[in-house]
Amino acid sequence: MVFFYGGGPQRPPGRKNEGNFARRKIPDGRQGRNASMQNTISLTENRDFRRLYHRGRSMVHPCLVLYYARNRLGCNRIGITTSKKIGKAVARNRARRIIRESYRQLEPATKTGWDLVFVARTRTVGCKMGDVLRVMGGMFKSACIVKK
């Protein structure tokens, strides 16, 4: 709980930081939202997205599009894009959360050394979590990204 006293937000006296998820520490030293994804980091550079769009391979489903290519790193890098066609911010954020959570559940079974970009489609918002998980798992099998 945060109160505003004069100059800005402050906590009431005696109150500790309650549930600050972004500061959560993990035994292996990682922290933050993606702390549970051990072999994955986020794609952030525009050039990485463009490289995957132009040189990577793709798979298309009515709920989701996957662009993928090998990288020379020992970990996977993922990026999630949602356009304004999907809807307003609430719908776009929901689509991102569904895709990220589906990947998080499949991450232990995926091979490392891949760049992956997931593009949400208009149907992603209407899909249930299990549907996106099933579609993503099928795409990974077709792309031979799943560990044997």
Classify residue 41 as left (phi > 0), alpha (psi -120 to 50) or beta: beta
pTM above 0.95, yes or no: no
- What lies within 8 Å, CB to CB, of 92 at 6+ separation is 82, 84, 86, 120
Residue positions counted in the chain = 148
Cα(101)–Cα(131) distance, integer angstroms: 12
For residue 28, pLDDT beyond 60: no
Q: Which CATH class is domain 36-142?
A: alpha beta
Of 10-19, 41-50, 95-104, highest mean pLDDT: 95-104
State the residue for tokens 């100059």.
Answer: 7
pLDDT of residue 147: 83
Question: Are the CB atoms for 107 and 77 separated by under 8 Å?
Answer: no
Q: What is the pLDDT of residues 52-66, one digit of tens each?
A: 899 889 999 999 999
Cα(97)–Cα(82) distance, integer angstroms: 11
For residue 103, pLDDT beyond 80: yes
